[in-house]
């Protein structure tokens, strides 16, 4: 994290729940339409935030090796649910590659 990076505190499992955080308004003010989900716990905070983001029309990328929970069974179950209904599931390397490609295209 860089000193210039924006930090938004949340106080509920899902960052988009009313009263949980100002994340939605912060993203809207900046014209951001995509969220990349990392963190813990995969099946609690990460899943809650991803589900709500999708329902609010954000594009959601759920980072499979950037999330973690108490055991592989719970982690993998959430990845399956995300893939089936709520998000694109990618590894960190896949996300970085896509971001690099997008930045290259924007520079042209």
Q: Please tell me the class of the 23-107 domain.
A: alpha beta
The structure's pTM equals 0.92
β partners of residue 59: 34
Q: How many residues does the chain have?
A: 108
DSSP 3-state of 3: coil
**Token reading at 1:** 């994290």
Boundaries of every domain in the chain: 23-107
Alpha carbon distance 88, 90 (integer Å): 6
4-55 pLDDT, tens per residue? Answer: 988 999 999 999 999 999 999 999 999 999 999 999 999 999 999 999 999 9
24 within 8 A of 32, measured Cβ to Cβ: no
């Amino acid at each position: 994290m860089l000193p210039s990076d924006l930090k938004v505190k949340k106080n509920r499992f899902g960052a988009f729940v009313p009263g949980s955080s100002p994340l939605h308004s912060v993203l809207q003010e900046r014209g951001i339409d995509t969220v990349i989900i990392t963190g813990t716990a995969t099946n609690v905070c990460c899943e809650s935030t991803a589900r709500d983001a999708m329902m609010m029309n954000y594009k959601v990328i759920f980072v499979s090796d950037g999330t973690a929970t108490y055991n592989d069974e719970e982690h993998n179950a959430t990845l399956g649910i995300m893939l089936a209904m709520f998000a694109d599931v990618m590894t960190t390397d896949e996300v970085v590659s896509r971001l690099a490609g997008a930045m290259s295209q924007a520079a042209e």
